[in-house]
Every structure is written in C-alpha cells, then in structure tokens.
Amino acid sequence: MFPSFNISVASFALSGLFSILIAWQAFRVWKLQRNRLAGIFFKSIVFFSLYFWVRALASFLFSHSPCVLTGAYILSHVFLGIGVAYTAKFGFTSLNSSRANSIFLVFLILYASDVILNIFLPNHPRFNQELNIIEWGTNKYVGIYHTLLNWSGFLFVCLIFFYQAIKNWDNKLVRTKSLLIAGGLLSSIFLSIPRNIFRTPTFQLIADLGLVLSLGIILLGTTVDQKEK
C-alpha cells in the first residue's frame, strides 16, 4: 500500500510537533533554572511525543494494514504509559510529596498491565474512508481500563494547575500560564481520552481534532511569557 495522508496522520503529527515544542520550553526552564519540576514535565512530554509519532507514522505508512496498526497501537501505549507515569510524578512532586517515586512506579505497573491486556485482547483497527480517519477499534474492556488510567493521571495534574491559577490570581503571568495548561489538559480529558469508550466513528474524528486543540492550548501556556516580553 502507498502512504496515505489522512486526518489521523495530521492529528498525531501535529500533536507530536506541538509536544516537541512544549518539551523544548520545559527543557530550557529545567536547564536554565535548575527546576526539578520542569525536568519531570520535560520527560513526560518526550514520551508523549514518541507516542504521537509512532501513531502518526503507522497511520501514514500502514493505514490499510490492520496487523501493523495493531502492533503500533501496542508499542505506542508503552510510551504513553511512561508519559502518564511521569505526569503523575510531576503532580505529586509539585505537592512536595515523598510518595512521588512510589506513585511513578505504581503507574508504570498499571500501564504494563494495560499493555499486556492489549496483547491478549487486541484492538481491531480499520481505515474509515468516509471520514478519512483510522478507527483504532480498542477492546471494550481494555478501553475502559485504559481511559480510567489516563483520567486519573491527567485530571489530578489539571486540578493542580487550576489550584496554582487561583493561588496566584494576582500574578497575571502565572495565572494565565496555569489556566491555559489546565485548560489544555481539561480539553484532552473530555475530547480526546474518551475515544476508547465512545468508539463511534464520529467521536474518533472529534478525538483526533480535540487532541490537536489540547496540545495547542498547552503549547500556548508554555510560551505565553515569551509573547509578553
């Protein structure tokens, strides 16, 4: 099959590009300010970027090959799981919790079980020509488990950023950055992550578009200080 440019390719490629830009911003803060939180955030975004690019390349090169798409789906979840584990660690570290490393390990174990479930209860992807997207066909029960894992990691960090915005309401820069990043995470929670529960073609399209929107908002939140200079 020839490479196929479709909405899923565009969604994951743009999300991967946005992730690289977000990671660069976090890396700069980490190295210039010796900010430990920025370092953890950087690592989480790097693994999310790998997740996006595995999906983008598979969607582009093998959109009509269910077997390869299934393999890419499983591989991408390895990177996604590590990314979510770092996201949870970021949240607990920001609260000065001594359990941050333990939480990181717990999420790694939970996501390892998610990957194993994907192997024994594989997804059945297919290319939807009408909507020009890839339906990943996640197993119903795996999809519920996977969604709950993602929600638990992202919602926790989302609430932390909202809390920071309220706590620093008089500081326009911190308030704006925190609200944008929290808004991007919230957008992902409602528009992208539920794709594994609401598996209709229409919601798959919404999830693809919502993914780009979410990363775009987070990117804006990480660069807003530079725009004001």
pLDDT tens per residue across span 120-134: 999 999 999 999 999
Question: pLDDT value at position 198?
Answer: 87
Question: pLDDT value at position 229?
Answer: 47
Residue entry with tokens 């820069």: 173
| Residue 205 CA from chain centroid, whole number | 16
Domain ranges of the chain: 7-224
Question: pLDDT value at position 132?
Answer: 93
Q: What pLDDT, in 10s, does the model give residues 49-91? A: 999 999 999 999 999 999 999 999 999 999 999 999 999 999 9
| Residues 34-43: contacts with CB under 8 Å, at least 24 apart | 36/93, 37/90, 37/93, 37/94, 40/86, 40/89, 40/90, 40/93, 41/86, 41/90, 43/86
pLDDT band at 209 (very low <50, low <70, confident <90, very high): very high
CATH class name, domain 7-224: mainly alpha
Closest CA to 81 of 126, 55, 51: 51
Q: What's the token pair of residue 89?
A: 């660690």
Where is 40: in which H helix or E strand?
A: helix 36-61
pTM of this structure = 0.93
Residues 126 and 134 sit within 8 Å (Cβ to Cβ): yes
DSSP structural state of residue 190: I
Question: In the predicted model, what is the mean pLDDT of residues 93-103?
Answer: 90
